[in-house]
């Protein structure tokens, strides 16, 4: 197994870890963000019979997702430049774990780094979603933030 020369880049896509600049877009269009999140998280699920039109049909939702992907790709590029490259991209949390479409778009934007996505693995949510010969590997790592908060709380209370 090759050693890790550089830090991997974790792309955390939900909760309190908003990417730089994304908060401004969300404040400007919170309804668009809600639609975009729903669209991104439900992209793999067929809509139920009689459901309203997909959020992707909403121009403001599309803009929010496009901006999200743009900001994520921009941050990956900035970190890769500072670190002199990366060994891995790690997708985690809500959207990172559940939206193959968002992962695909970010990996495509990061192809210049050497990321080559495996579409079938990405659709199956990993854990490895890049092809074996990809210079930069891509992974989906599930999180359990509530469990970690509970463990830290228990540690503080019993310290």
Residue 108 DSSP class:
H
Note the pLDDT of residue 95.
87
Asked if residue 7 belongs to a domain, the reply is no
The continuous run of DSSP H or E covering 90 comes out as: strand 88-92
Q: Considering just the CA atoms, what is the radius of gyration of the chain in Å?
A: 17
**pLDDT value of position 7:** 36
Digit-coded pLDDT (tens) for 57-85: 677 788 888 999 999 999 999 999 999 99
What does the pLDDT read at residue 43? Answer: 46
- How many structural domains is the chain composed of? 1
Residue 1 lies in a domain: no
Tens digit of each residue's pLDDT, the chain (159 residues): 333 333 344 444 433 333 333 333 333 444 444 445 555 555 444 444 443 444 456 777 888 889 999 999 999 999 999 999 999 999 998 889 999 999 999 999 999 999 999 999 999 999 999 999 999 999 999 888 888 889 999 999 998
3-class DSSP state of 73: helix
Does a structural domain hold residue 63? Answer: yes
Whether 3 maps to a domain, the answer reads no
Quote the pLDDT of residue 146.
87
What pLDDT is recorded for position 57? 60
Question: What pTM was computed for the model?
Answer: 0.64
Determine the distance from the C-alpha atom of residue 157 to the mean position of all C-alpha atoms in its chain, rounded to a whole number: 33
Assigned token pair, 31: 């309804």
- Is 123 inside a domain boundary? yes
Q: Report yes or no on 131 lying in a domain.
A: yes
pLDDT value of residue 32: 47
Range of the domain at 24: 12-157
Q: Is residue 6 part of a domain?
A: no
Residue 2 falls within a domain, yes or no? no
- 123-to-22, 36, 90 alpha-carbon distances in Å: 26, 19, 15
Query: What's the CATH number where 143 sits?
Result: 3.30.420.40
């Amino acid at each position: 197994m090759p050693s890790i020369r550089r830090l991997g880049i974790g792309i955390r896509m939900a909760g309190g870890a908003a990417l730089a600049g994304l908060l401004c877009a969300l404040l400007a269009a919170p309804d668009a963000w809600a639609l975009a999140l729903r669209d991104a998280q439900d992209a793999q699920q067929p809509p139920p019979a009689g459901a309203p039109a997909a959020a992707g049909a909403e121009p403001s939702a599309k803009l929010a997702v496009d901006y999200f992907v743009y900001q994520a790709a921009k941050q990956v590029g900035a970190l890769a430049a500072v670190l002199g490259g990366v060994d891995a991209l790690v997708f985690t949390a809500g959207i990172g774990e559940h939206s193959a479409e968002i992962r695909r778009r970010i990996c495509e934007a990061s192809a210049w780094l050497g990321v080559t996505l495996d579409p079938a693995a990405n659709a199956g949510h990993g854990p490895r979603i890049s092809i074996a010969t990809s210079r930069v590997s891509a992974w989906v790592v599930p999180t359990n933030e509530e469990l970690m908060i509970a463990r830290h709380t228990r540690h503080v209370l019993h310290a």
